[in-house]
Structure 1
Amino acid sequence: MATIKDVAISAGVSLATVSRVVNNGPKVGEKTRQHVKKVMQELGYRPNANARALVTQKNAALGVVVAELRDPFFAMLAHGVETVARNNNVQILLSAGSIEERTELKAIETLMEYRVDAMVVHSKTLDDTTLINFAAQIPGFVLINRYIAQIANRCVWLDNVTGGRLMAEYALSQGHRQLAVISSDYHIDDPNERLEGIRQAIDAAGLKLDECMIGYASPDQEGGMQAMRNVLSASTDFSAVLAYNDAMAAGAMTLLQDRCIDVPKQVSVIGYDDVILAQYCRPKLTTLRYPIEAMAAKAAELAIHYAAGNQPQDNVTFKYTPTIVKRDSLVRR
């Protein structure tokens, strides 16, 4: 592999001149610049990204921290960011926080070591103070799926309370009066906020959600089966299940069908997120559309914009609201 020294020798120029060409520096005539670029191409020379970061004190990359890589939700998030990055000729550096405080912290610190000035961060375990401090250090720091009032202009977030209320209100509008809930057992804000919205709608209808009608487990298909199993063991009648996300909803439907409980004739199910899985469940899943790709694209645009030296506006935030997607898993009673 050709080195910067090989380029300098072949082009008949100094190492400093090649370095200036690589980093788009001044004091290089256009004829010399084009000559050096031609030699670089002929030799197959590729600049070292880390070395360039050391020279320029920044990296032309967009850092992205997601919770998990295997979850389709985060694939949608990454796709939204990637579209904006590609349009801006910016590379993506992707890392997973694994919903663990230490891992999330390390992921952000590693991107800082690479001198990444633009970041889209999905953090669920780091405390507000830590994230506020990162925002003060990183010009293009943007949080997605999290709201912190002190850095509201760097937050792109979903109103999960409204989302929970909407899913319960829709089930109630279809005549369901006995509702069960399967929720995530992760100690993060999202499940608590969605459950709060569900309770608001049920209370407003003059009904009650008993604790025995709430099942908790991991927010995946297996967790959906386990949470559904826990609710069924309570031996209480219900006609609709409100699931924390589409994966749990799919798991719940599988368990119900395995026990010869017809979905949706006997028990209706509604999910949350509207990932690709929702369209291929049988029956197709009624769910709340989480506009994560649009949110991720907005977060990426803001990160790149702020990293370029543009200051965030005061007194603004970027709140999104989910919407009902009506399919086949929930029917009128």
Structure 2
Amino acid sequence: MATIKDVAKRAGVSVATVSRVINLSPQTRPDTVESVKSAMKELGYRPNAAARTLVSKKSLAIGVVVADVSDPFFGTLVKHVDTMALQQGHHLLIGNGYHKKEREKQAIESLIQNQVGAFIIHSKALDDDTLLAYAAENEAMVFINRLIPGLEDRCIHLDNYRGAYLATEHLIQQGHKAIACISSNHDIEDSQQRRRGYLDALKAHGLGQHDCSRETLGWIATGWPDEQGGEDAMLKLLKDSKQITAVFCYNDVMAAGAITAITDNAYRVPEDISVVGFDDSLIARYLHPKLTTVRYPIEEMAAQAAELAISLSNNKQSLATNGGYKPTLVRRQSVQRV
């Protein structure tokens, strides 16, 4: 396979000159451009990203850090970043942080070492000061699902607290009083905010007398934020609090696990126990019954993050005039009035 060095040798020019031709530099003489293009055609050479950055010093790669790309939520995020990136001639490099400080740091450092041109970072374990330092050194670094003071114009985020409040309030409006919560066991702000939204909605409607001891009383169960974690948490709730008539779940996949536990134990959804999820992921529309959930517009957020990161990498003015997204409730068939 021909290399940029082969093209330079055939055309009788330097590698830097070939790079200038590839990058459409106006400083290259027309006859030199023709000579280089002819050599490329003869050798069957196709420019790659590395060649295009030799002169511009800008990589056409976008570095994306997520918790776990195998999670459907993060898979959707990556997919929509990739769609936007391809439209603008970029490609992706992906790192997993697993909500752990060292892993997130390693993932970000790896992308920096690979000289990516733009970054989209989903970080929950690293503190604000660490991320501020990274952002100061990398002007095209955008943060998703995180609001960092001082970097508001580079943050794309959702009001998780409001989403949980909406979900719980909806159950209350349907007459439910014995409302449990299935929460993620990851000690991240999303879990904290959604749990607080749940508790505050109960309190606002006179159902929060036992906020401080609600978990010990069996009203809150935690688990790994996947189907198995949701199933295990629901089984614990059924064992500890048989009077439950509704449950708010941290995300849709945990809700799917909860529904399995409910139906496996001869209860019905929603006739016996109503269920609300969070995210409005694809699975919500294919569960039986279809899942009432809080919509997390990750598709739009990922696209905006990609557009902003690419814009910043091209030294254009920030586009994040409003990076804050509001959750909405999507009503389906998993909630019934009591």
State the 1:19 CA deviation. Answer: 3.4
- List per-residue Cα deviations over 1:66-117 (Å, max 9, x = no partner): 1111111111111221222122222222221122111111111111112223
State the 1:55 CA deviation. Answer: 4.5
State the 1:45 CA deviation. Answer: 2.0
Q: Contact between 2:16 and 2:54, CA under 8 Å: does it hold in 1? A: no
State the partner residue of 2:114.
Answer: 114
For the aligned residues, what is the CA RMSD?
Answer: 1.9
CA distance in 1 between partners of 2:65 and 2:293 (Å): 26
| Structure 2 residue 68 is matched with structure 1 residue 62 | no
Identical-pair percentage: 47
More displaced, 10-19 or 256-265? 10-19
Q: Contact between 1:155 and 1:317, CA under 8 Å: does it hold in 2? A: no
| Structure 2 residue 248 is matched with structure 1 residue 242 | yes
State the partner residue of 1:291.
Answer: 297
State the 1:122 CA deviation. Answer: 0.4
Match of 2:152, SS state, is: helix
State the 1:49 CA deviation. Answer: 3.6
| Structure 2 residue 186 is matched with structure 1 residue 180 | no
Match of 1:135, SS state, is: helix
CA distance in 1 between partners of 2:127 and 2:324 (Å): 20
Unaligned runs of 5+ in 2: none
Amino acid at match of 1:298: Q
Q: Contact between 1:50 and 1:114, CA under 8 Å: does it hold in 2? A: no
Amino acid at match of 2:331: K
The count of aligned residue pairs is 332
State the partner residue of 1:190.
Answer: 190
**After the TM superposition, which residues 159-238 of structure 1 pair with which residues of structure 2 at under 5 Å, given as runs?**
159-208=159-208, 210-211=214-215, 212-238=218-244
**After the TM superposition, which residues 1-333 of structure 1 pair with which residues of structure 2 at under 5 Å, given as runs?**
1-47=1-47, 49-50=49-50, 52-53=52-53, 55-208=55-208, 210-211=214-215, 212-312=218-318, 317-333=322-338
Q: Contact between 1:53 and 1:115, CA under 8 Å: does it hold in 2? A: no
Match of 2:180, SS state, is: strand
CA distance in 1 between partners of 2:241 and 2:282 (Å): 33
More displaced, 71-80 or 13-22? 13-22
Match of 1:261, SS state, is: coil
CA distance in 1 between partners of 2:191 and 2:262 (Å): 22
Amino acid at match of 1:258: D
Unaligned runs of 5+ in 1: none
Amino acid at match of 2:249: A
CA distance in 2 between partners of 1:136 and 1:129 (Å): 10
Amino acid at match of 1:320: Y
Amino acid at match of 2:142: V
State the 1:6 CA deviation. Answer: 2.2
Match of 2:291, SS state, is: coil
Amino acid at match of 1:268: S
State the 1:54 CA deviation. Answer: 5.3
Q: Contact between 1:81 and 1:296, CA under 8 Å: does it hold in 2? A: yes
State the 1:33 CA deviation. Answer: 1.1
- List per-residue Cα deviations over 1:160-205 (Å, max 9, x = no partner): 1101100001111111111011000001000110111111111011
Q: Contact between 2:230 and 2:255, CA under 8 Å: does it hold in 1? A: yes
Query: Normalized against structure 1, the TM-score is what?
Result: 0.94
- List per-residue Cα deviations over 1:209-240 (Å, max 9, x = no partner): 53221000100000001111111121441110
Match of 2:117, SS state, is: strand
More displaced, 180-189 or 102-111? 102-111
Q: Contact between 1:53 and 1:114, CA under 8 Å: does it hold in 2? A: no
CA distance in 1 between partners of 2:107 and 2:40 (Å): 34
State the 1:311 CA deviation. Answer: 4.7
Match of 1:332, SS state, is: coil
Return closer, same or farther for 1:124/1:329 CA change in 2, 3 Å cut-off: same
State the 1:18 CA deviation. Answer: 2.1
